[in-house]
Amino acid sequence: MQTYSYYPGCALERNAAVYHDSLMAVAESLDLTFTEVEDWNCCGATEYITIDLIPAYALVGRNLALAAEQNCNGRSLVAPCSACFLNLKKTDHYLAQSPELNRQVNQALAAGGLHYDPGSVHVKHLLEIVAEDVGFEKVARAVKRPLYGLKVAPYYGCLIVRPAFDGTFDDAEQPSSLDVLMRTIGAEVVDFPAKAQCCGGHMTQISEEVALHLIHQLLKNAVDHGADVIAAICPMCQLNLDAYQDAVNKHYGTDFHIPILYFTQLLGLAFGFGEATMGIGQELVDARPALANIQSKPLKPPRRKRPSKKELPMPPKLQEV
């Protein structure tokens, strides 16, 4: 049994409630316990840090201070949202780097009777925990109903692997931990070169044109490579790709209808939980037609086209995580 401090972030209480619920369900299958940080507040999301530095860091610093105070056994702090994860990690890093910033932030925290020493909380993303702490072998043992035949595009987004403050757990350009995880639960992983590109974040509110361009690129790339479903690890990514699919179709004259599910929902389905328990059906682009592709037996690998005599050999692939 592994225990973690848990920082859900605002999204998991609202639009991404299914992320929270599915996570809690699969946590049991993986022997994970999460203790929610009491009285946590918003992390400031993607824009506050660029607007007003000290209050932004103080906002995140308060969560770190609370986590440190309530975390008596030196447990890691887990954030399932990539933006929350990055803000927590970034704040901890810059407070350690700049004594002046640290002084000002702690001055603000003192008003609420709090204090934070940088480095005292180890922040991790949920995917990092499943891939590294739990490990693929243990995940494989929990699988009851493998997702054979389901073609998944593993979508990492841009925040979890960059920037590498203390070295990331995965490659920053072509990460592979979610690929391996999806294969572990029986799904077929499609090549998805755009897997670490940005979903547009809050650009949907600021410059829709830019956001639609980024979302269109991702949807098109996943569909071009034959994906049935995109697996997301961040509420922002899920929301943008799901909720703006209609707008993309109107803007670009396309006809995308690819469902975006949280990776925890797919884990849950593979662990034998029902679709309703996993919140399937609450997404805007209905996932049920895609999930109907799940087979009871693994598909035969497609017969490889015999390479032409002229074709030059490819270099061997680099090993995945």
Quick one: residue 198, left, alpha or beta (phi over 0 = left, psi -120 to 50 = alpha)? Answer: beta
Which string of x and - marks every residue 72-111 that binds another protein (by CB under 8 A)?
----------------------------------------
Q: Does 316 engage in binding with another protein (CB under 8 A)?
A: yes
Q: Which is nearer to another protein, 136 or 252 (CB)?
A: 252
| 317 is an interface residue for another protein by CB under 8 A | yes
- Determine phi and psi for 112, rounding to 5 degrees: -100, 15
Q: Is 311 in the site for another protein (CB under 8 A)?
A: yes
Output 62 or 195, the one with its CB closest to another protein. Answer: 195
Site for another protein (CB under 8 A): which residue of 50, 73, 296, 308? 308
Four-residue CA torsion sign, 8, 122, 176, 208: positive
Rounded to a whole number of angstroms, the minimum distance from the CB of residue 310 to another protein is 3
| CA separation, residue 105 to residues 48, 62, 65, 94, 216 (Å) | 15, 9, 11, 11, 39
- Give the one residue of 80, 180, 310, 321 binding another protein; rule: CB under 8 A: 310
User: What order do you get walking across the sheet with 229-232 strand by strand?
Assistant: 188-189, 151-154, 229-232, 260-262
How many residues form the binding site for another protein (CB under 8 A)?
Answer: 21
Residues 269 and 275: beta-carbon distance below 8 Å:
yes
Q: Helix count (H) and strand count (E) of the chain?
A: 14, 8
Comparing CB distances to another protein, the nearer of 121 and 199 is 199
Per CB under 8 A, the segment of 52-60, 177-185, 273-281, 303-311 that binds another protein is 303-311
Q: Kindly identify the residues of this chain, within the stretch 191-230, that bind another protein according to CB under 8 A.
A: 193-194, 197, 213, 217, 221
Binding mask 136-175 for another protein (x = CB under 8 A): -----------------------------------xxxx-
Give the max Cα distance, the chain.
74
Q: Which CB, 137 or 311, lies closer to another protein?
A: 311
Pair of tokens at residue 98: 């700049």
Q: Is-contact 117 61, C-beta < 8 A? A: no
Does 306 sit near another protein (CB under 8 A)? no
What is the gyration radius of the CA atoms in the chain, in angstroms? 20
Q: Which amino acid is at 63?
A: N
| For another protein, the closer CB: 300 or 310 | 310
| Cβ-based nearer residue to another protein, 104 or 197 | 197
How far, in Å, are 77, 97, 227, 260, 310 from residue 299 at the CA level? 39, 52, 15, 23, 30
Residue 315 as a binder of another protein (CB under 8 A): the answer is yes
Taking the complex as a whole, the smallest distance from the CB of residue 218 to another protein amounts, in Å, to 9
Closest distance to another protein from the beta carbon of 173 (Å): 4
Q: How far apart are CA 35 and CA 158, in angstroms?
A: 27
Closest CA to 154 of 131, 181, 173: 181
Please state the closest distance from residue 148 (CB atom) to another protein, in A: 25
Rounded Cα gap, residues 3 and 126, in angstroms: 13
Q: Does 296 bind another protein (CB under 8 A)?
A: no
51/318 with CB nearer another protein: 318
The minimum distance between CB 201 and another protein, in angstroms, equals: 18
Residues that bind another protein (CB under 8 A): 171-174, 193-194, 197, 213, 217, 221, 308-318
